Amino acid sequence: MSSFNKVILLGNLTRDPQVRYTPGGTAVAELGLAVNRTWFDQKTNARREETTFVDVTLWGRQAEVAGEYLAKGRQVLIEGRLQLDTWEDKESGQKRSKLKVVSENMKMVGGRGEGGGGSGGGGGRSEGGRSEGQRSGAPRDMESSGGGPEEFHEGPPDDDVPF
């Protein structure tokens, strides 16, 4: 039986991107994303809102672009996959886990005055700069392959992608 792991989020950065480099020289950035949901509560006859905070990891060139052009408060569209990180807590010895999103495509949304210095058309890479639709901003090799270009990923390839 095949499976499918795809996430699309539109939200605002909760902090400035933190860009670091692996020993092999690959850039990795960690983002915090706030995603809001609003609805009308019929019991209280009031509009309600809830915010979900999501950790996002970007690899390669898109991590460098995020570090250069994104800042706290900036709106960004993330397309990626869920990944479960597990580890053992050093203090208590208990197993811990955290669900995060690994970005395969990142698009800056909004104008220059919204948190960062970009023009909103990054599409995950600095070259190209298209802003027409989500797919036209994606690199060509990302559309033809299931997991995106290798420069955006660190670690094992996505062999479990069903397409």
CATH of the domain at 82: 2.40.50.140
Interval 89-105: pLDDT, tens: 888 989 999 999 999 99
Interval 113-126: pLDDT, tens: 554 443 333 343 33
For the chain, the domain total comes to 1
Backbone angles phi, psi at 65, to 5 degrees: -65, -45
pTM score, whole prediction: 0.64
- pLDDT greater at residue 32 or residue 129: 32
Question: What's the rounded mean pLDDT across residues 31-42?
Answer: 93
Side-chain half-sphere exposure of 67, counting CA atoms within 13 A: 16
Residue 2 inside a domain? The answer is no
Residue 163 inside a domain? The answer is no
Residue 109 inside a domain? The answer is yes
